[in-house]
Amino acid sequence: MNIYGYVRCSTTEQNERRQLDAMATAGVPRTHIYVDKQSGKDFNRPAYRLLLDKLRPGDVLYLASLDRWGRSHAENQEQWRLLTKEKCVDIVVLDMLPLLDTRQHKDLMGTFISDLVLSILSFVCESELEHIRKRQAEGIAAAKARGMRFGTPVIPPPADFAALVAQWECGTLPLPELLDITSLKERTFYRRLQEFRAEK
């Protein structure tokens, strides 16, 4: 029997330290902890797929919390069935002990309670994800309505762009110097040049 841990953060900026500390407290070796920095909307994640290949019957998988595992109600249910029924792996959700610990109460009633708790919590995880997306969309719409722009800021060409272009075209101003004067990247310069010529 081997014990493994799975840790997930939604973005590369988020810190997985709290989850790793929980795994260490539970006695999961650091070399047996698989970490993804990716959305929980589905289970198509590289570290999770590697973990699935490692798991064998009798192994134990530790999760810090259910929402760090996955946020889709249907996919959580399917993965739980795959792990516990097909792969014969036990799952321990550390922040839901003892309710979500398949090592305990393996009788019919214990299995029923675990499945029921899993279903309810998976529904809550998915609902929370939908609320997050809705709040993000509302925040972006409100920011756009206030005139906020998203993406790379547009750097306008300088007032003397035409004169600089003329010098560059006749060879008296090398491109690196022109880019330095205008603070434009090369690709941006050529885009501005195209726009400038279209306006002439």
**pLDDT above 90 coverage of the chain, percent:** 31
Query: Residues 2-61: pLDDT tens digits?
Result: 999 999 998 766 788 999 999 999 999 999 999 999 888 889 999 999 999 999 999 999
d(CA 51, CA 111): 24
What per-residue confidence (pLDDT) applies to 71? 82
Whether residues 137 and 191 fall in one domain: no
Q: 139-152 b/e with 16+ CB inside 10 Å = b?
A: eeeeeeeeeeeeee
User: What pLDDT does 113 receive?
Assistant: 61
What pTM does this model have? 0.61
C-alpha closest to that of 87 among 52, 44, 122: 52
The catalytically annotated residue of 10, 39, 65, 119 is: 10
Query: Which domain CATH number covers 75?
Result: 3.40.50.1390
The residue out of 141, 171, 188 marking a domain boundary is 141
Instruction: Identify whether 10 is a catalytic site residue.
Output: yes
Work out the pLDDT band at 197, boundaries 50, 70, 90. confident
Same domain for 10 and 56, yes or no, is yes
Q: What is the pLDDT of residues 79-118, one digit of tens each?
A: 999 999 899 999 999 988 888 888 887 766 556 666 766 6
Do 131 and 61 belong to one domain? yes
Quick one: 114 and 177 in the same domain? no
Residues 104 and 71 in one domain: yes
- Who has greater pLDDT, 181 or 199? 181
Query: Of the given ranges (22-26, 104-108, 128-132, 134-138), which has the lowest mean pLDDT?
Result: 128-132
Beta strands 3-9 and 60-63 are parallel
Pairwise CA distance, residues 128 & 148, whole Å: 27
At 166 the pLDDT is 87
* Beta-carbon contacts of residue 99 (< 8 Å; ≥ 6 apart): 113, 114, 117
Q: Give me the domain span that covers residue 167.
A: 161-199
Q: Same domain for 126 and 171? A: no
Question: Which stretches of the chain are DSSP H helices?
Answer: 17-26, 46-54, 66-69, 73-81, 108-145, 161-169, 175-182, 186-199
Q: 89 and 186: one domain?
A: no
Omega cis (within 30) before 98: yes
Asked whether residue 152 is domain-assigned, the answer is no
Q: Which of 141, 172, 189 is the last residue of a domain?
A: 141
